[in-house]
Amino acid sequence: MAKTEDFPDYITADFVMSSPDLKHCPRDDLPEVAFCGRSNAGKSSVLNRIANNKGLAKVSRTPGRTRLINFFNVKTGGRIADLPGYGYAKAGKTEQQAWQKAVNRYLSFRENLVGLVLITDIRHPDQPLDNDLLKWALSSRIPVRMLLNKADKVSKKVPHIEVEFAMRYQSPSIEDKLKKLISQNLDEIIILPLFPQYSTATTGSVFDEISRVLKKQSVTPSIKFINQFYEQESFIDSWEDKLKSFDIDEYDHILFSYHGLPTKAVDDIYDDSLCADNNCENEITNENKFCYKATCYETTRLIANRFNLSQDKYTVSFQSRLTKNWLEPFTDEVLESFPGRGIENILVLSPAFTADNLETLYEIDDEYKELFIENGGKSLTMVPSLNDSSKWADSIVEIIDI
Condensed to tens digits (0 to 9), the pLDDT of residues 331-361 reads 999 999 999 999 999 999 999 999 888 788 8
The distance from CA 298 to its chain's CA centroid, rounded to whole angstroms, is: 23
Residue 122's contacts (CB-CB under 8 Å, 6 or more residues apart) are 148, 149, 150, 151, 153, 154, 388, 393
pLDDT score for 10: 42
Mean pLDDT taken over the chain: 85
pLDDT score for 156: 59
Q: Which of 263-267, 283-287, 321-325, 338-342 has the lowest mean pLDDT?
A: 321-325
Q: What residue spans in the chain does CATH classification 3.40.50.300 cover?
A: 4-149
Could you give the percent of the chain with pLDDT greater than 90?
Answer: 52
Q: Which of 155-159, 275-279, 344-348 has the lowest mean pLDDT?
A: 155-159
Q: What residue spans in the chain does CATH classification 3.40.50.1400 cover?
A: 233-382
pLDDT band (50, 70, 90) for residue 130: confident
Buried b (16+ CB within 10 A) or exposed e, 192-205: ebbbbbbbbebbbe
Residue 68's contacts (CB-CB under 8 Å, 6 or more residues apart) are 18, 19, 20, 84
Using only the alpha carbons of the chain, give its radius of gyration. 23
pLDDT score for 2: 43
pLDDT band (50, 70, 90) for residue 59: very low
**Predicted confidence (pLDDT) at residue 145 exceeds the cutoff of 90:** no
Superfamily of domain 4-149: P-loop containing nucleotide triphosphate hydrolases (3.40.50.300)
**Predicted confidence (pLDDT) at residue 175 exceeds the cutoff of 60:** yes
**Predicted confidence (pLDDT) at residue 294 exceeds the cutoff of 60:** yes
Neighbour count for residue 151 (Cβ, 10 Å): 16
pLDDT score for 388: 77
Fold of 233-382: Rossmann fold (3.40.50)
Neighbour count for residue 302 (Cβ, 10 Å): 18
**Predicted confidence (pLDDT) at residue 247 exceeds the cutoff of 60:** yes
Please count the residues of the chain. 402
Say what the pTM is: 0.70
Q: Is 52 exposed, middle or buried (0-12, 13-18, 19+ CB in 10 A)?
A: exposed
- Ramachandran assignment for 153, one of left (phi > 0), alpha (psi -120 to 50 degrees), beta (any other): alpha
Classify strands 345-349 and 379-382 as parallel, antiparallel or unpaired: parallel
pLDDT score for 20: 86
Neighbour count for residue 147 (Cβ, 10 Å): 17
At residue 6, what is the residue type? D
Which of 391, 397, 353, 390 has its CA nearest to residue 123? 390
**Is 349 in contact with 257 (CB distance < 8 Å)?**
yes
At residue 152, what is the residue type? D
DSSP code, position 126? -
Q: Which of 45-59, 128-142, 362-376 has the lowest mean pLDDT?
A: 45-59
